[in-house]
Amino acid sequence: MPFPIEVTFRDMESTPALEEFVRHWAVKLEHLYDRIERCHVVIEHPHQHHRQGQRVHVRVTLAVPGPDIVVSHDHALDGAHEDVYVAIRDAFQAARRQLEDHVRKLRQDVKTHVEPEHGRVSYLDVEGEWGYLEAEGRRIYFHHNSVVPDQPLAVGDEVRFTEEHGDKGPQATSVTRIGEHGHHELAHP
């Protein structure tokens, strides 16, 4: 579904060709990321000294989930930006790069399904409040609040768990005893 595109001109005349050029570039961004909510583009000729040319300032704001992406393109030393079409193109190319970074970060933040690890209870404190699991030669802390469902564990019980980083190193969460008596129901090879 196309998102709304608003174009504002300041200190310069609007033309249908310029508006169409902006829309062309904005629609290209939708192919990269289809969750853009709206696009606002401001094109202006800032007040400048007579010795300098009429450089164009372009600001592109993309409303996306999370913080908005804002590109403000104003190259005071770049004579190419006296051409409004070049300034618009460059602003949208910068917006595209920022949008690509935004999408990349979102993909990294998406949690993937983690398969539980397999381990064995190697130590329990006297009161059964906490202990350690052995898994692949590593020792991993767990607290009785991490045992699902809350069932007593004994040293030697086999468990499945999910590992996360705790304050003092690896920590097991979602600890579940395997089998009726804490051992695999299938025979070991």
Largest CA distance in the chain: 88
* Residue 130: CA count within 13 A, CB half-sphere: 7
Give the model's confidence band at 156: pLDDT under 50 very low, under 70 low, under 90 confident, else very high: very high
Nearest to 174 by CA among 134, 140, 145: 145
Task: Name 6's bridge partners.
Answer: 40
pLDDT of residue 82: 81
- In degrees and rounded to multiples of 5, residue 138 shows phi and psi of -115, 150
- In degrees and rounded to multiples of 5, residue 77 shows phi and psi of -95, -5
pLDDT of residue 189: 45
Give the model's confidence band at 157: pLDDT under 50 very low, under 70 low, under 90 confident, else very high: very high
pLDDT, averaged across the chain: 83
How does DSSP classify residue 51?
A: T
pLDDT for residue 43 is more than 50: yes
pLDDT for residue 149 is more than 90: no
pLDDT for residue 26 is more than 90: yes
pLDDT for residue 138 is more than 60: yes
pTM for the model: 0.54
pLDDT of residue 187: 45
What's the CA gap between 118 and 177, in Å, rounded? 10
Find out whether 55 and 46 touch, Cβ atoms under 8 Å.
Answer: yes
Give the model's confidence band at 180: pLDDT under 50 very low, under 70 low, under 90 confident, else very high: low
Q: What is the dihedral of CA 115, 116, 119, 121, to 10 degrees?
A: 170
Residue of higher predicted confidence among 182 and 125: 125
What's the CA gap between 96 and 28, in Å, rounded? 9
Domains of the chain (ranges; CATH) run 5-109 (3.30.160.100), 117-177 (2.40.50.140)
pLDDT for residue 183 is more than 70: no
What's the CA gap between 60 and 41, in Å, rounded? 5
What's the CA gap between 174 and 130, in Å, rounded? 14
Mean pLDDT of 114-137: 88
Mean pLDDT of 74-101: 81
Residue of higher predicted confidence among 78 and 153: 153
